[in-house]
Chains A and B, each alone.
Chain A
């Protein structure tokens, strides 16, 4: 009886996954002539890898729960972010919403506010997103959305179960695992290790263009942060072989002590 009821409840879950279009980690980044942004020419953009965990988890929850569960992918970004959403659709997400802007906000609070407004109107039970986006490493938008929505907020989960009106998550913390129970609605941010995201199948890619992708232009608040300068990390000096075997140890100690000054 209880099991039946739980399943009935699970069926009603509406899941949103917030995704971001980011440069591929393998791309060689070039700084634009203004010194404050990256040169996007020739840069390949991908679905933020941490958001991929969120998409995968949403799809697994849906597959476990059955037909009644709907997964919506939401992105905030330029028109080109449609391609990012289509990747999520190709993986198996049901529908997508692009909040179109001319720029990607610097201040995570601006992003969190716009996304939260969309999430609130959609009445989602569970919001999933990556714990961070690999382009700015802010770790901020997910937890800010939790606060703005007045929902439970769990960050950086490596295991997730949803049952009935709540869930249970595991977080990898220093030296151990923290187990958290929470109620729905909730915002959960996903970490590495949660799952292994599927490849979008070729059929999925073909079906993606037939799934609904809604675009909504949004106004952004005035930017509160300003990028002053963007610089590439200094090039690493090539290594040096001091010798081989135990004979090389004195020279190594000498170099670590006097050159690198780490001993």
Chain B
């Protein structure tokens, strides 16, 4: 069954023909290649790595970066629609593309030298090189400014020491963007980004076991023990923590769209089930309680779709602010989690099976709720934007 989309407000009419063509291509690919297999991979706790060459062939990696670096050169709305469709398949698949594009290719594009761009971006667009992003540490999640990973200048380059946690693609990657302090530990302005090949001596990655969420995704811990890299490993234009946060803004933008995809997948499943499941002699969709569930889901999805689209248009105009991204990430992920939970409940006992999508999405979205700026942190970002008063310090 191909996905028919959820478009109660004819939002399609606000998209260009190209944007729709991009969305429809990825939608079809997800229907044919992701949906049929993802439940099994999820249960096994494995990322479907065989999809990577196909994703590269389609042009999904760094799709909003320029063609001169081997990327598709799409606008940000088309990029968002890609994230939406990928997460309709699974948050793990979308996370893979988000990390590759927004957290590794983007910083190389934004902060790298011309040589770094020419070397890494085409290889990453072709999926020959997979990247990961090392910012979060075991003791520094919401407070990355406190990080204790260090990079010390030597005659020939840098020596990096520290550990990073919750790193998507960590064990799969050939290159890691590692954020480290080049100055004193109380100086977040000294944070710079480094491109570290994962086969460098002293670099190790370990799969984080026991996840009940994002099971079809590689989440790893990275340990860097006297990792020596040459001078050209530094991303020269990184300047303090704000450079890392700029990457997160890119990724969060994609997550705001992705969450809508997960919600649409659940909603479609809920509608189909409600219309076909017969109880007390009629389809459960005929009962008021289920109708209320479905009406709430459709309303929230429609609002989130419009939020994403306007956010994308702002981004394409160069007018998007990080606070606007916070609002969309916070709202949409929370919304999608609620939609997944209500779908799970509407499906009754079936809802706990991997054969259906709802519980997988629900479990995934609990991670998405926490990563890339927790829901709570985005609340405080908005609080500061509204009042001018920071609740952090």
Contacts and interface: CB of A to CB of B under 8 A. Distances in A.
* Real binding pair: yes
Interface of A: 24, 26, 83, 86-87, 90, 199-203, 205-206, 208-209
Interface string B25-58: 1001100000000000000000000000000011
B72 to A, nearest CB: 4
Q: Which 10 pairs of residues, A with B, have the shortest CB-CB distance?
A: A202-B59, A202-B72, A26-B2, A205-B21, A201-B59, A203-B72, A203-B59, A199-B25, A201-B58, A200-B25
B105 interface: no
Contact of B4 (A26, A87, A201, A209): A26
**Interface residue tally of chain B, by bracket?**
20 to 34
B21 A90 contact: yes
Interface string B1-37: 1101000000000000110011001001100000000
Contacts of A206: 18, 67, 72-74
B2 A202 contact: no
Contacts of A86: 17, 21
A108 to B, nearest CB: 28
Nearest to B33: A199
B60 interface: yes
Contact of A26 (B1, B17, B29): B1
A202 B25 contact: yes
Contacts of B73: 203, 206
B18 A201 contact: no
B22 A202 contact: yes
Contacts of B58: 199, 201-202
B86 interface: no
Contact of A200 (B2, B21, B67, B78): B21
B103 interface: no
A42 to B, nearest CB: 9
Nearest to A90: B21
Contacts of A209: 18
Nearest to B71: A203
B21 A87 contact: yes
B63 interface: yes
B67 to A, nearest CB: 7
Interface in B105-157: none
B25 A205 contact: yes
A200 B1 CA distance: 21
B189 to A, nearest CB: 38
Interface in B63-89: 63, 67, 72-74, 78, 82
Given A202-B22, A202-B59, 20 more contacts: A26-B2, A26-B4, A83-B17, A83-B21, A86-B17, A87-B21, A90-B25, A199-B58, A201-B25, A201-B57, A201-B58, A201-B59, A202-B58, A202-B78, A203-B59, A203-B73, A205-B22, A206-B18, A206-B67, A206-B73
A208 to B, nearest CB: 8
A203 B71 CA distance: 8
Contacts of A203: 59, 67, 72-73
Contacts of A201: 25, 57-59, 72
Contact of B28 (A90, A199, A202, A205): A199
Given A26-B1, A26-B2, A26-B4, A202 B63 contact: yes
Interface in B331-369: none
Nearest to A200: B25
A201 B63 CA distance: 11
Contact of A205 (B18, B29, B57, B60): B18
Given A206-B67, A206-B72, A199 B4 contact: no
